[in-house]
Structure formats: C-alpha cells, structure tokens
C-alpha cells in the first residue's frame, strides 16, 4: 500500500480541517501530515491536550514547521530527538516540530524545512504571551540552513517553509515589502533559484500568506488545501 505524505498550511490551532480529512479518507497509521507553519498547537501550558487531540484525530504522524504565530519559547524547550534523519522537537509519540535548516528523508523523498517569519501584527501582540522574538530566524540559523541547502541541493525533493520567497509575494500581496532589514523573503528567493537548477527538486510549499495558489510549477502557496505529495491531488475543506 502506498505510503502517503499530505501537506497543508496554517492551522492556527484548529482541528476542523483534520476532521474533514479523516472523514473523507481512510487514514492509515503510516500517513504523514506536514504543516507549513502557524500550526498553533503549542501555544500555552495546555498544549498537551492539543497534541493528544491531534493524535486522536490523525492516526499517523503530524510534523509541522514553526511559523510566526507559535509559542517559540515553549517549542524550543522541548526534547530534541532525531526523526527520519533530521532534528526535531518531540511533542508526542506521533507529533514533531521540524526544525530550521533540517533535512528529513520520508518515504523516498528528501524534505528541507525552514520555519519562522516576521509577524505583521506584532505591534498588537504581547511579548511572551502572544508574540515571541524567536519567530524571526537568526543569522546563524539562516547560515546553517544555507550550508545544508548548498551541500544537499541536488538531493532535495521538497521544501517546506513558512515565509514566502520574495518573487512570489508580488503574485499574492499588493503590500510593498518594507526596507527594514528583514531579509528572509530575499534569502528564500536566492535559495529557490539554487534549487531550480537541480533536476531532482520537485516543489516548494510555503504558508504564511493564507493562499492556496500555484505561483510556478515548483512553488506553491498552501493554506486550506491538504495536498497529497507526489500527486496533483488536492483537497479543499473550507
């Protein structure tokens, strides 16, 4: 039986889309659901209830990168272990946080992941309660990611990020990027152009923009859709 990997976008601590997925599919314990950041399930000390709910609804493994709206302090305090060749924060037996700049080999495909982004609403949020400074990748995290990406560029099949490459933004948002030293979208643009030179590279999924939109045949904004990797199947639940 084919082993399946699903990918979806920002969930912000909601469970309804997962119930939808479970209702319409016979889910298996080998299924893996990847979330492209702003999962939101680790938000406060009651996170364990959310993790248990995820494990009850989804019989397989849930693995998410961090977005901007996560409790980064709590996430970073979790036990680090290895999962499919890369470092993760282990949140439950079948729930993992995929870390910045790691590569995971999942059912024959290699996934490069890089979470984090800057909140546009951070002025309305409270430090340590609804906003954490670690949302934005540090220079050393970016350097680590770049080094891994360059070393393994010809072996990477998929990329999952929360932030959006700069070139994709003009297809989505009319907002002009503010020149305030925030460079992650530009960095991702550079990484995207490196990867597109590799024959193996298949697709880059990003969250954050709350769109389900194909930007190019290798760059996809993911939000409500739950897409089956390696096929063109896409399910919309909301």
Q: Which residues bind Fe ion (CB under 5 A)?
A: 38, 67-68, 208
Min dist CB 64 to Fe ion, Å, is: 12
Min dist CB 207 to Fe ion, Å, is: 6
Is 90 or 118 the residue whose CB approaches Fe ion more closely?
A: 118
Is 68 or 113 the residue whose CB approaches Fe ion more closely?
A: 68
Between CA 95 and CA 53 the distance in angstroms is 11
Between CA 149 and CA 110 the distance in angstroms is 11
Is 86 or 207 the residue whose CB approaches Fe ion more closely?
A: 207
Is 40 or 60 the residue whose CB approaches Fe ion more closely?
A: 40
Is 38 or 225 the residue whose CB approaches Fe ion more closely?
A: 38
Strands 102-106 and 203-206: unpaired
Min dist CB 12 to Fe ion, Å, is: 9
Contact 205, 65 (CB under 8 A): no
Selection from 83, 206, 100 nearest residue 144 by Cα: 100
Is 35 or 88 the residue whose CB approaches Fe ion more closely?
A: 35
Min dist CB 107 to Fe ion, Å, is: 27
Min dist CB 8 to Fe ion, Å, is: 14
Min dist CB 154 to Fe ion, Å, is: 30
Between CA 31 and CA 86 the distance in angstroms is 18
Min dist CB 120 to Fe ion, Å, is: 9
Is 33 or 39 the residue whose CB approaches Fe ion more closely?
A: 39
Long-range contacts of 148-152 (CB under 8 A, 24+ apart): 148/101, 148/102, 148/103, 148/112, 149/101, 149/112, 149/191, 149/194, 149/195, 150/194, 152/103, 152/110, 152/112
Contact 236, 20 (CB under 8 A): no
């Amino acid at each position: 039986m084919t082993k399946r990997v699903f990918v979806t976008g920002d969930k912000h601590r909601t469970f309804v889309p997962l119930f939808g997925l479970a209702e319409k599919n016979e889910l298996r314990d080998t299924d893996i659901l990847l979330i492209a950041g702003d999962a939101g399930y680790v938000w406060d000390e009651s996170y364990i209830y959310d993790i248990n709910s995820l494990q009850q609804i989804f019989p397989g493994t849930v693995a998410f990168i961090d977005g901007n709206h996560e409790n980064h302090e709590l996430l970073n305090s979790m036990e680090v272990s290895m999962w499919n060749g890369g470092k993760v924060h282990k949140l439950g037996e079948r729930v993992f946080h995929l870390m910045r700049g790691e590569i995971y080999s999942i059912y024959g495909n290699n996934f490069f992941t890089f979470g984090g982004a800057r909140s546009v609403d951070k002025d309305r949020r409270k430090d340590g309660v609804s906003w954490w400074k670690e949302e934005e990748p540090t220079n050393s995290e970016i350097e680590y990611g770049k080094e891994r990406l360059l070393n393994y560029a010809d072996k990477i099949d998929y990329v999952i990020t929360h932030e959006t490459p700069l070139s994709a933004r003009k297809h989505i948002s009319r907002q002009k990027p503010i020149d305030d030293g925030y460079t992650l979208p530009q960095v991702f643009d550079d990484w995207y152009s490196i990867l597109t030179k590799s024959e193996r590279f298949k697709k880059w999924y990003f969250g954050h923009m709350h769109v389900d939109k194909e930007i190019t045949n290798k760059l996809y904004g993911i939000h409500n859709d739950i897409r089956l990797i390696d096929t063109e199947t896409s399910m919309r639940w909301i």
